[in-house]
Chains A and B, each alone.
Chain A
Amino acid sequence: MPYNELLKNFSKIRDYMRDFYIYGFRTRSDFGGKIKSARSYDNERRRVESWLGGVMSFRREAAGKSVFLSVDNRTVPHNPLYRAFRTKSFTDNDIMLHFYILDILSDGEALSFRKIADRIAGEYLSYFDAAEPPDDSTVRNKLKEYIALGLLKMERKGREMLYSINQEKWSPKAWQDALAFASEAMPLGVVGSFLLDRYEKNPEYFSFKHHYLFGALDAEILEELMLCRRGRRRAEITFRARRSEKDMQAEVFPLRIYVSTRTGRENLLAYNYQIRRPGMYRLDHIRKVKALDSEPDYERLERAGRSFAEYLWGTSSGPEGSRETEHVEMTLYVGKEERFIVDRLEREKRNGTVSRLDETTYLYQTDVYDAQEMLPWIRTFTGRIIRLECSNDSVVRRFYDDYAQMQQMYETEAADI
Chain B
Amino acid sequence: MVFHEIYGTYYQTVSDILKEAVQGEITAEKIRRIIRDRAFEESSITIPQALTDQWHILTSDGRTPIRHVPRLPLTDLQKMWMKALLLDPRIRLFDPPQDELEDVDPLFEPDFFFCYDRYSDGDPFEEEEYIEHFRLVLLALREKRKMEIVFRGKQGRHRQVYIPDRLEYSSKDDKFRLAAHTEGHVPYMINLARIRQIALLEEVKPDEAEAPPEKKDMVIMELTDERNSLERAMLHFSDLEKETVKLDDLHYRITLSYRREDETELLIRILSFGPTIKVTAPDSFIRLIRQRLNKQKSYGLK
Contacts of A70 in B (CB 8 A): 241-243
The yes or no answer to A294 lying at the interface (CB within 8 A) is no
Given contacts A86-B9, A95-B11, A410-B293, contact A261 B118 (CB under 8 A): yes
Q: Is residue A375 within 8 Å, beta carbon to beta carbon, of the partner chain?
A: yes
Residues of B within 8 A of A123 (CB): 65
Stretch at the interface among A33-41, A110-118, A163-171, A319-327: A163-171
| Contact A379/B2 with A22-B238, A72-B241, A99-B66 known, Cβ cut-off 8 Å | no
| Chain B contact residue count (CB 8 A cutoff) | 128
Q: Is B199 an interface residue (CB 8 A)?
A: no
Majority-rule SS of B interface residues: mixed
Is A99 touching B2 in the complex (CB atoms < 8 A)?
no
Judging by beta carbons under 8 Å apart, are A87 and B9 in contact?
yes
A286 CB to closest chain B CB, in angstroms? 15
Give A167-184 as 1s and 0s: 1 = Cβ < 8 Å from B's Cβ atoms.
111110011011101100
Interface segment, one of A189-197, A233-241, A245-253, A271-279 = A189-197
Task: Point out the residues of chain A lying under 8 angstroms from B172, CB to CB.
Answer: 209-210, 261-262
Beta-carbon contact of A385 and B170 below 8 Å: no
Complex Cα distance, B271 from A202, in Å, reads 39
A207 in contact with B8 (CB, 8 Å): no
With A191-B77, A376-B273 known to touch, is A210 a contact of B171 (CB < 8 Å)? yes
Cα-based distance from A92 to B167 in the complex (angstroms) = 44
**Are B2 and A219 in touch, CB under 8 angstroms?**
yes
Is A257 within 8 A of B3, CB to CB? no
B157 within 8 A of A: no
Complex partner residue of A194 from B7, B121, B273, CB under 8 angstroms: B7
Q: Does B142 contact A (CB under 8 A)?
A: yes
Chain A residues lying within 8 Å of B167, measured Cβ to Cβ, are 205-207
Which residues of B251-302 have CB atoms within 8 Å of chain A's CB atoms? 252, 257, 259, 268-269, 271-275, 278, 283, 286-287, 289-293, 295-297, 299, 301-302
Are A382's CB and B292's CB within 8 A?
Answer: yes
| Cβ contact within 8 Å between B55 and A92 | yes
| Pairwise interchain contact A174-B113, C-beta atoms closer than 8 A | no
Q: Which residues of A, 358-417, contact B by the 8 Å Cβ criterion?
A: 375-377, 379-380, 382-388, 396, 400, 402-407, 409-410, 414, 417
Which residues of A lie under 8 Å from residue B106 when comparing CB positions? 230
A136 at the interface (CB under 8 A from B): no
> A152 CA to B120 CA in the complex, in Å?
44
CB distance B268 to A380 under 8 Å?
A: yes
Enumerate chain A residues within 8 angstroms of B241, measured Cβ to Cβ.
Answer: 70-72
Q: Is the CB of B243 within 8 A of A24?
A: yes
Q: Is the CB of B292 within 8 A of A213?
A: no
* Residues 121-166 (chain B) with a chain A CB within 8 angstroms: 121, 138, 141-142, 164-166
Of A151, A343, A414, which contacts B75 at CB under 8 A?
A: A151
A190, A347, A406 interface centre (most CB from chain B within 10 Å)? A406
Tally of chain A residues near chain B (CB < 8 A): 139
Q: Does A140 sit within 8 A of B, measured CB to CB?
A: no
Q: A414 contacts B243, CB within 8 Å?
A: no
Is B138 a contact partner of A177 (Cβ separation < 8 A)? yes
Interface residue? A307 (CB, 8 A): no
With a CB–CB cut-off of 8 A, which chain A residues contact B141?
Answer: 203, 205
B243 touches A417 (CB 8 A): no
Q: Does A68 contact B (CB under 8 A)?
A: yes
Residues of chain A within 8 A (CB-CB) of B240 are: 72-73
Q: Give the top 7 A-B pairs by smallest Cβ distance, nearest first.
A: A150-B76, A178-B94, A383-B295, A383-B292, A376-B272, A261-B172, A405-B275
Apart from A194-B7, A388-B302, what are 13 other A-B pairs with CB-CB below 8 Å?
A: A83-B9, A100-B65, A124-B65, A127-B56, A127-B65, A181-B90, A181-B91, A186-B88, A192-B81, A350-B117, A380-B269, A405-B274, A406-B293
